[in-house]
Amino acid sequence: MNPVYVVAAVRTPIGRFRGALAGVRADHLGAHALNALVARAGVGAEHIDDVIFGCVTQIGEQSANIARTSLLGAGWPETIPAMTVDRKCGSSEAAIHIGAAQIAAGVSDLVVAGGAEAMSRVPMGSNRAIHGEAFGWMVSDRYETTSQGEAAERIADKYGFDRDVLDDFAAESHRRAAAATDAGRFVAETVAVPVAELCEKDWEGPRDPLEADQTIRRDTSREKLSTLKTSFREQGRITAGNASQISDGAAVVLLASEAAVKRFNLTPLARIRSVAVVGADPTLMLEGPIAASRKAAALAGLAFDDIALFEVNEAFASVPMMWMQATGVDADRLNVNGGAIALGHPLGATGARIATSLIHELRRTGQRYGLQAICCAGGLATATVYENLDASAAPAVV
């Protein structure tokens, strides 16, 4: 197969729920990210072979193939095709997988993969209000249908996590994200959002630009988090504080073949070494990242000890904690700049957001290998291994 390179990766800052980006449609965020991407890569949009986006709640403003509406809104040539996919929380990571497959197969040279979700404007699950229950009797007769929150509680049950350790993990996510922001670690991967230029014409809310992630709570602590009510069980452990944040944002990466790298004189940020997707028990639902990570590492010919940095989506604190317990990877190598608990989880954008953050952190630290994994609703999980081709001789453990 042909090698696949990431030659640019960019994301918007993440807006909190009903916050700075509430007046901006998802496809407008996507359009803004697309133009920033090609500007940073130094290649014209007319050379792009395909645009693939992830988006979960494909209804209303997000219903008309937002990959296509994003590129048209960006002023890109109408001859560029586009596709929007839904693999739940792993949607934009799946978009990366699809784009990588096209390049590996030799049918494309430059593919944009990413995603966008405006959860303030198109609420999660709003399609069910119109179209009814997601599961029919053929599924519900075979499996207990449950929420992701209850699944997170079951993960905590199975792996023995109490409320305090979950809240500690959440507080540490915010601490790391705040430290990364203060150190300027997100500057290279983000593009400010000019809200006044992108918002709806009749938007009456604030129009100030968003230049940094709005979701980080600098003053949080286990003590403060312990005051929050549980969300899914009366005597449970999962709260709004130790779960990912509903939020708004977009993220995109530019994938390139070796021929495109040479033709356009591009600089690879990373090479995709492997991709993986797995299915798992849909009632426990969130355990898949363990198997997906193992599969992706094996396909790359790597052991976990060979991999310096890991990103496991913080859908709920119990998920990355479960993953660490199962894999033996220590916390110093996982979500080193915080995760979705602090940075937000705009569903369709999260996979590409994580990829963008991971690749830039590999470059910043000179580490060679990084792995990302995401749990997805319905008992799915995605994973990807990236190789920094400009790695120093730094050891694997950071």
Query: How do residues 194-214 score in pLDDT, each as one tens digit?
Result: 999 999 999 999 999 999 999
47 an active-site residue? no
Selecting among 32, 174, 360, 375, the annotated active-site residue is 375
89 an active-site residue? yes
Give CA–CA dist 329/24, Å, rounded: 39
Give CA–CA dist 288/297, Å, rounded: 14
Q: Could you tell me the domains of the chain?
A: 273-386 (3.40.47.10)
55 an active-site residue? no
Tell me which residue has tokens 């944002």: 249
Q: What is the pLDDT of residue 125?
A: 80
Summarize pLDDT for 294-319 with one digit per residue, the tens: 999 999 999 999 999 999 999 999 99
Q: What is the pLDDT of residue 126?
A: 80
Residues 6 or more apart in contact with residue 288 via CB below 8 angstroms: 278, 279, 280, 375, 376, 379, 380, 381
Q: In terms of DSSP bridges, do strands 247-256 and 270-279 run parallel, antiparallel, or are they unpaired? A: unpaired
Q: What is the pLDDT of residue 142?
A: 94
For every residue of 152-203, DSSP letters joined together read HHHHHHHHT--HHHHHHHHHHHHHHHHHHHHTTTTGGGB--B-HHHHS-TT-
Selecting among 32, 345, 360, 376, the annotated active-site residue is 345
Query: For residue 138, how many other CB atoms are within 10 A of its CB?
Result: 7
Give CA–CA dist 220/211, Å, rounded: 22
Give CA–CA dist 224/255, Å, rounded: 42
Q: What is the pLDDT of residue 291?
A: 99
Q: What is the pLDDT of residue 133?
A: 77
Selecting among 55, 89, 199, 376, the annotated active-site residue is 89
What are the start-end ranges of the H helices in 281-339? Answer: 288-299, 318-327
Contact 251, 76 (CB under 8 A): no
For helices 66-73 and 26-41, the axis angle rounded to 10 degrees is 60
**DSSP H/E element including 309:** strand 309-312
Which portions of the chain are predicted below pLDDT 70? 129-131, 392-398
Contact 108, 1 (CB under 8 A): no
Give CA–CA dist 242/222, Å, rounded: 10
- The tokens for 269 are 């940020």
Q: What is the pLDDT of residue 392?
A: 64
Tell me which residue has tokens 């549980």: 230
Contact 270, 355 (CB under 8 A): no
pTM: 0.96
Contact 170, 227 (CB under 8 A): no
**Distance from the Cα of residue 310 to its chain's centroid:** 13
Contact 57, 124 (CB under 8 A): yes
